[in-house]
Amino acid sequence: MTDLPSTVPQALARLLAVGGTGTGLIPARDAALAGGRHTAALADGLALAVWEELPFDPAAARLAARRLGPSSLAGRLAAAVAACAGAAEPEPYFERLAARRDIARMVAYLLARQQKAPGDTGVLARLAALAPMLPAGESAREIEAVFAGLSGDLAGPGQMAAGELALLDGRAGEAQARLRLALDILPTGAARLRLAEAWLALGERREALAQFAAAWALRPWDSLLVARFADVISGLDRRVVPLPGSVAVLVYCYNSPALLARTLDALAATDWRLAPQARLVVLDNGSPGTDVAAVLTAAAGQFGERLATVRLPVNIGAPAARNWLAALPAVRACAFAAYLDDDALVAPDWLGRFGAAVETCPGAGVWGCRVQGASAPHYVQSGDAHLLPTPREPGALARGFELARPWLAAPDWGQFALSRPCASVTGCCHLFAGPVLAGLGGFDIRFSPTQYDDLDHDVRLLLAGRTPYYCGHLTVVHAKATGAAGNPGGAGYGQGFANQLKLHGKYDDTAIAAAAETAFAALAADHAAKMDVVNAWLAGQGAGEGGRG
């Protein structure tokens, strides 16, 4: 990042460039703490930011209180919050629920605990973490009421948490009222960021920009804030433009007729004026029976001549299916190719959102999107990913890198609706320029039947000097939950583990370092350009307006 002191180590600078929210900031905070006096001021700011976003967390509060000291309002309040934590005790029932990820019963247990100990911040911290995870259709209103009713030293954190839950629930008016109460008690950057999102949801962009500016004055290291702020200033967050050329929309499916039907129904609502020459090609990857064929027959009535289908006699796996589609003459003739999973639900303006991304970063290797799970709508299931090299000792199981994913650890209040370069984007829905797709040699069939072929392709793009580009203003809903089959004991665990080994073994440390350097150099240049946008806007507002409202 361009505005960090030269004493900041590269590893910390890269963590800050990626950014994070809540617990996602802890690695950067701890790295700054390890830097001693050279990064002491940054460590203080990050310790405060972690506590601001996890205001009931006793450990975060204790550290913030120790770093800030009793001379500051934040330090005194953090110490008071930490002092309200009850003693830890065994909770075997809760642990069994957690092992099953039974969120609804975990919340019920904690609400019962809270009634017995209303001010126990350890219980409140867990309630705040679990409330956004409640299954779709279940309300967090009872938890919100608990937070809104807190008093004394807990009133500010309570209003902050209640405002966040109202924002997630789509009640932006109530959210902004509660967040303003929280700011009256303790003005924090985190509360201002949530308030900015509430104002945006209400259509009040001027007020939102003022809150982004005030938050940035408190958090000048926050790369996510800068990217989000700049995109709202420029209007990129709502920009929709036609794709500059023809596009082939490519879907491959194996034995998922119901999911495919939903995907095609969503595609049928596409605003084709944003890509009038678009073609849709669906590959049936050896599905047994006739159910998928019946869905495709019905789809012919929706799409007419725009739709072409390919039926393979056997399932050749995802990488080979992608390659087969890319090799079709009609696809090769198109300027762009967009791959879409058979359980990905797009909005009508999705091609125009990609058009805006192409206009903003025309030289990207691939353009990606923000994916939300249908069963967990308050979280990003997949977004931008960044390579962090981890030099390894010789060994068959050695990992050459970790993926930093800033959206992984916190609910999405809107802070991930931003655009920027990265190391990898999701293969659930991504767009390629035709010559780039044709020139890289296809997806590696060593990653058959599926998993990590898209990440491998992105690493190869980086090594060829092209950077993936994340467009978080395009949201795609993933109809099927992911991840469970890949957990230990799941049906896909062995396959996923094996493909990870293949991926890490395919590239040596030098290649991974080069790929990461390409991605972080592009990210740094993008951050500098966005800072120019922010500074120009601030200069236009004058000293009194737009910075501290």
Residue 401 carries which side chain, given as an amino acid letter? Answer: F
Global pTM value: 0.94
Looking at residue 495, its pLDDT comes to 84
Residue written as token pair 């308050």 = 378
How many domains is the chain partitioned into structurally?
Answer: 2
- Domain membership of residue 547 (yes or no) is no
Judgement on whether residues 325 and 263 belong to the same structural domain of the protein: yes
Residue 370 carries which side chain, given as an amino acid letter? Answer: R
Looking at residue 547, its pLDDT comes to 37
Q: Which ranges in 235-290 belong to alpha helices (H)?
A: 257-268
DSSP one-letter string for 431-461: EEEHHHHHHTT---GGG-SSSSHHHHHHHHH
Separation of alpha carbons 336 and 331, rounded Å: 8
H-run or E-run covering 378: strand 376-382
Q: Are 310 and 324 in contact (CB under 8 A)?
A: yes
Instruction: For residue 34, give both structure tokens.
Output: 């390890």
Looking at residue 392, its pLDDT comes to 86
Question: In degrees to the nearest 10, what's the CA dihedral of 294, 297, 303, 306?
Answer: 120
Judgement on whether residues 458 and 507 belong to the same structural domain of the protein: yes
Looking at residue 484, its pLDDT comes to 47
Instruction: For residue 511, give both structure tokens.
Output: 């290649």
- Identify the domain containing residue 227 by its residue range: 10-235
Q: 456-515: per-residue pLDDT in tens? A: 999 999 999 999 999 999 999 999 765 444 555 555 678 888 899 899 999 999 999 999
DSSP one-letter string for 122-185: HHHHHHHHHGGGSPTT---HHHHHHHHT--GGGHHHHHHHHHHHHHHTT-HHHHHHHHHHHHHH
Is the pLDDT score of 544 beyond 70?
no
Three-state DSSP class for residue 388 = strand
Q: 30-86: per-residue pLDDT in tens? A: 999 999 999 999 999 999 999 999 999 999 999 999 999 999 999 999 999 999 999
Residue written as token pair 């973490």 = 129
Judgement on whether residues 72 and 201 belong to the same structural domain of the protein: yes
Looking at residue 146, its pLDDT comes to 97
- Domain membership of residue 97 (yes or no) is yes
Looking at residue 542, its pLDDT comes to 67
Separation of alpha carbons 207 and 197, rounded Å: 10
Decide which of 215, 235, 255 is a domain's last residue.
Answer: 235
Q: 4-32: per-residue pLDDT in tens? A: 766 789 999 999 999 999 999 999 999 99
Give helix 141-148 / helix 121-130 axis angle, nearest 10°: 140
Decide which of 180, 206, 235 is a domain's last residue.
Answer: 235
Judgement on whether residues 393 and 495 belong to the same structural domain of the protein: yes
* Mean pLDDT of the chain, nearest integer: 93
